[in-house]
Every structure is written in structure tokens, then in C-alpha cells.
Homo-oligomer: A and B are copies of this chain.
Amino acid sequence: MNEDSIKNHLRQQKIETPSWGYGNSGTRFKTFPAKGAASTVWEKVEDAAFIHTLTGIAPSVALHIPWDRVEDYAELKKYAEDRGIQLGAINPNVFQDREYKLGSVTNPDQSVREKATRHLLDCVEVMKETGSRDLSLWFADGTNYLGQDDLRKRKRHLREALQKVHDALPDGTRMLVEYKLFEPAFYHTDLADWGLALTHCLAVGEKAQVLVDLGHHAQGTNIEHIVSTLLDEGRLGGFHFNARRYADDDLVVGTTNPLELFAIYFEIAQAQQDENEQLRKHTSEVAFMIDQSHNIEHKLEAMLQSVLNCQEAYAKALSVDFDLLKEAQEKGEVLKANRIVMDAFYKDVRPLLRDLREEMGVPVDPFQALEESDHLKKVLRDRQSTDTGGGFPS
């Protein structure tokens, strides 16, 4: 792909940042308050809009309900649009109410299951007001002990809830079904892996798609292989980007193994150029979203870094010589094929990205721009940072 073509692709790259990434977050041991962290959804939208002005490729913000609940979503929508961004995926929270201790839609208690399903359906209503295309579903549901509950019964309850939500979705919208190996459940998670998510999606209907969170896999899992499989099955809904070495560490994406992020974008870039039109269309609809927990970092700096790491990975992936690669693969030239891909990974795309940023009218050095910005000064001056405790009450 020539440089112009690479830039054209990069201009169309989109990364959605999450409202909760701008507020305080922590581990079960402690949530350290960060200076200038956002507290209200309005502040979070401001921060997301600011990241978009710095990068030009973060044009929407994901919401979390009820954390970001407002009286009037139209007002919030206008607030965002006035600042140059859209409201993105709606993320229902069915894990923090007392009733959800033993699960939400898989709870042994029918009234809890109904409450949870109602909340999901309420969020479908929110989507209509926010103009969101995606309902992003993550369930903390699972058990901690062998025998604690009936695995098949829970599976059926989950299926039932997903079906109801699916059938309530307006045309042109989707539900993204996220899976996770463990945490907060430690014996089994009802949606433990992509296989379970896909099985449910295939059963409930066309609007159900799988969401891949980079931190939700067992050690050793080849995530780009899952990405490739879901693309081929037409069921890759989107990503939650972050980085991890151990568990669901939720670090800045691309910091643990940048080659993995590159390999994911490499699968995307390949599918974008496939001769199959349906695959190309499907690929164009994938949602790229950040989902991280910035425990010790500056929130805005962390989000900026995350967005830029995605840009850099995509730029490298687009630089692969796909024709040469195909030839080496067909000849079975193992290391040569690998070298062709690695050549793109090792390419320094930063000069190209500087050019691109200039052309797009965003700051050439986004970190410097952040540091010198009025926005940063304002949030450090005006926002209170409050101690919010942790899992262990002191």
C-alpha cells in the first residue's frame, strides 16, 4: 500500500473512548484519587472531546448506565456534539446493585433476573435518545465454588435475557456480547470465552455480535486468531482495547506486547482488502473502543497515549507488503513470510503520522499540546480529587 493509501485509511480510523476512563478507578486494594479526574458525565464528555481535538480520531464517547445517567439525554447529546463528538456505545451496569451478588440475568432468583433484564431494556431506550448504534453488554455473572449453581440452568437464563434484548433492538443497531474468563467470579463465568459468546449470538439473531476485550483471555491465547475467526463468521462486533500481562490488568493498550496489537490490526487490514465484499462491509462496522482502568496514571495522558498507540499499530499494519506476503505464504517460506510482516512492525511510522496530523489539522506533538493546554490547566485547577476507598473498607 502506498503512503497516500495508508494515510487515507488512517484518516478513517476511529477509536471510541469510554466515559469511565476519565474518572477515578483502582484495584480492590485502593482507588487512588487522581488530580483533575472527571466526576460527572459532563466532565467526562468534555475530556473525551478534548482527546478528539488532540488526535482527530476519537470522535465518540461510550456511556455507562447508571454512572452516566442524566435526566435528558438529548441535552447530553447536544452537549457532546457542540464539542465535536458523538455519544457512542451504551454500557448497562448489572453488577453493582446488592441484588446482583449471585448474578444478574443468571441469578437463581427470578425477580433479580427480571430486574436485570429490565435495566438492559431500559438501556435500549437510552440508545434511542443518544442515537447510539451499539449496546455493549458485559456480565459479571458467574460462581465462585463448584456446585454453587447449576451451569446449564444459568446458560438458559442467559440465553433468554439475550433473546429479549436482541428482539427489542431497533433496526440498524447491534448488541455486543462481551466475554471474560474470570473476575469478579472465580469458579466459572457464565460468558467465559468467545466460543460461548458466539454460540449465544448465533442463537439469538443477526443483531448479536461478539465483543473482544484484550484483557479477558487465558494466558497464551492467540487473540488475533479469534479476531480472524469472528471476522470470517461475520460476528466481530468490536473491541475493548487495553493491555495485560497477568489478569485483566486494564493497562494502556499496546504497552505489554505491542506486537499483539499490531497483529490484531494486521487481521483488520487484511480483511479490509479482501475480495469478499461482505467481509469488507462487516469489517467496516467493527467498533474500536478503549476500556482501561488508569490507576496510577494521569487520566488524559493515559487516554491520549492509548489512542495514539492504536494509530501507530494500524499504521504499521497497513504498511505490510500484502502481495509479497501472499507469495511467501503460498510457497511455504516460513521465516520469509514472518519477516515481511515484521518489517512493517519495525518500520518507524512516526514521520508519516506527523505528516498526517499536520494534514488533519491536529497538533503534531499531542503530548506537548496536552501539557500546554488550557483544558489541562482548568481541570487541575477546578476539579476536586476525592478519596474513594477500595474493596477493603478501612
A positions within 8 Å CB-CB of B: 20, 23-33, 66-67, 95-96, 98, 100-102, 108-109, 140, 143-152, 155-156, 181-184, 186-188, 192-196, 198-199, 202, 217-222, 224-225, 228-229, 231-233, 244-247, 249, 251-252, 255-260, 263, 266-267, 270-271, 274, 293, 295-298, 301-302, 305, 312, 325-326, 329-332, 334-342, 345-348, 350, 367, 387-394
Contacts and interface: CB of A to CB of B under 8 A. Distances in A.
Given A28-B28, A151-B225, A198-B195, A220 B232 contact: no
Contact of A145 (B109, B182, B326, B335): B335
Given A30-B96, A246-B186, A329-B108, A296 B101 contact: yes
17 contacts: A27-B183, A28-B391, A29-B95, A29-B140, A102-B296, A145-B337, A146-B266, A147-B338, A147-B340, A150-B329, A151-B267, A152-B231, A198-B199, A220-B245, A247-B247, A298-B334, A301-B336
A305 B251 CA distance: 31
A23 B393 CA distance: 9
Secondary structure class of chain A's binding surface, majority of residues? loop
A305 B340 CA distance: 13
A187 B151 contact: no
Contacts of A266: 146-147
A295 B187 CA distance: 13
A66 to B, nearest CB: 7
A263 B393 CA distance: 34
B335 A302 contact: yes
Identify the interface centre among A149, A196, A335: most chain B CB within 10 Å of its CB: A335
A220 B335 contact: no
A145 B196 contact: no
Contacts of A32: 98, 101
A222 B259 contact: no
Given A298-B335, A346-B312, A255 B28 contact: no
Of all A-B residue pairs in the complex, the 6 with the closest CB atoms, nearest first, are A195-B195, A147-B341, A218-B218, A348-B348, A219-B219, A186-B249
Nearest to A305: B335
A188 B144 contact: no
Nearest to A344: B147
Contact of A305 (B28, B140, B339): B339
Contacts of A255: 145-146, 338, 342
Contacts of A217: 218
Contacts of A108: 329-332
Contacts of A301: 335-336
Contacts of A339: 305, 367
Contact of A155 (B156, B232, B389): B232
A266 B101 CA distance: 25
A86 to B, nearest CB: 24
Contacts of A28: 25-28, 184, 293, 390-391
Contacts of A251: 144-145, 186-187
A293 B391 CA distance: 10
